Amino acid sequence: MSGGLLDRVEEDEQAEEVIEEVITASADPGLLSREESDSEDSSKEITMADSLKMIGLVMIIPYFLIMWFDVYLPGELSSYLWLIIIATAGIVWWQLDIKNPLESGGVKMTSSVLVVAVTFLLILPPLLLGNVLVGTMSFGGLDYEEDGSAFEVTIRQNGGSGSHDAIVSITYGSASVYSATHSFTIDQTDGYGKHGSFSVDISAFYSGNALGDSGQDYSMTVTVGDLEWERTLDANFLTRTITGAETGVSNVMSSNCDDPNIERCLVGVGLSVSSGLASAASPVAMPLANYNLTATMSGPSGAAISYPVVEVTRTSATWDSDGGAYGNGAAIVGDWGSQLQLQGSVEQEGISLILKDDWDSSDYGCYTLTVSITQDSFWGTETVTASSEYTYSLDETEDDNEEMKDRENWIPGC
């Protein structure tokens, strides 16, 4: 009996000891903390794939984007490329948590070597091209101004910068027409790299057409130091002197005549002038020519129509409209064709007419339309003229009812 009681007391004491041990163990967080720490460390471990991905996205891709598309980006980022490379390398170093690679070892040690190697590989080639190989120049091309005033010469250089002198010589056929020194600076950047440029005014050397029967090539030589380039200038761009012209007169007839004895009468005429480069057919349009033209239609009693002076600057023709007697005083010529319609006060049958009632004289007989073209002083001193003849007559002809009727006619030739 007493033995049983003693056994229960011992069992109770053992149970209390177990409870105390459990409580003590639960109060000590060491084991749980170590397990969580190990779990966090394992989650922070990087792989070589992570390193390569980070280097590619943060360092290599931005490098090539700046190199290829710098011309489209704000500012000249390529000028600060080495700083950008170092900055992106620092970002990768921080994102990979490399810190001191000698202490980290493993993948972090290898990643640090890769970051350093890629940094040098991205920085060294531009530095070598820009400092060791500076001076390697090439001819970048010619850009012609839309207004025809000048053309721009571009010189490219592999890296570097600085100012240089270019000796420019131009010949027209075998004759020297231009020699000058142009300074330029390698201070511009586009998708093809660094370059500099300078302009040459056309009026400084223009001596005649590059196209046509009397045309000759313009050849340009550019010398920079020991380098020399030769180019033939655009012949269309350097054809400015009018060498050919044509005139034409169209007419409109009406049955509504003031004289009841005349069945058909002349309402008016439309005048046209074609000017440009002489050819076997009509003159070829010259969109960069500047000239003045005067047109006069004379008849048996002298000048019947004296058209206002027309000033042509490239493709824009202007004249005094005289309150609408000569159209609106403006037109386009030389853009899509060489013909200029000399406008009148009314339009009939698609023709801008100068009415017969507005002529200074309108006697029957031979009429001659004459045009005289004077060049801009820069493009030549030649005066080009052209004319055409027409007969204005009153003829008695037989109508459909076999009756004789008076009819006015306007036919080419005299």
Give every CB contact of residue 389 below 8 A, 6+ residues apart in sequence. 366, 367, 368, 412, 413, 414
239-260 burial, b if ≥16 CB within 10 A, otherwise e?
A: bbbbbbbbbbbbbbeeeebeee
Residue the block writes with tokens 């041990």: 21
Specify the pLDDT at position 89: 83
**Chain centre distance of CA 250:** 41
Residues 121, 55: Cα–Cα separation, whole Å: 13
Specify the pLDDT at position 71: 55
Tens digit of each residue's pLDDT (9 = 90 or more) over 367-408:
999 999 999 888 888 899 999 999 999 998 776 666 778 999
Strand runs labelled E in 127-187 = 137-144, 150-157, 163-172, 175-185
- Its pTM stands at 0.66
Specify the pLDDT at position 18: 46
- Backbone dihedral region of 148: left (phi > 0), alpha (psi from -120 to 50 degrees) or beta? left
Specify the pLDDT at position 239: 95
Mean pLDDT by 10 residues, the chain (414 residues): 46 51 46 41 65 84 75 63 83 83 75 84 67 70 94 86 92 97 88 86 96 93 95 96 96 91 93 94 93 97 96 95 95 91 95 96 97 91 95 84 83 95
Tens digit of each residue's pLDDT (9 = 90 or more) over 140-193:
999 999 999 999 999 998 766 788 999 999 999 999 999 999 999 988 877 677
CB atoms within 10 A of CB 396: 8
Specify the pLDDT at position 95: 83
Joined together, the tokens standing for residue 108 give 């972090």
Specify the pLDDT at position 68: 72
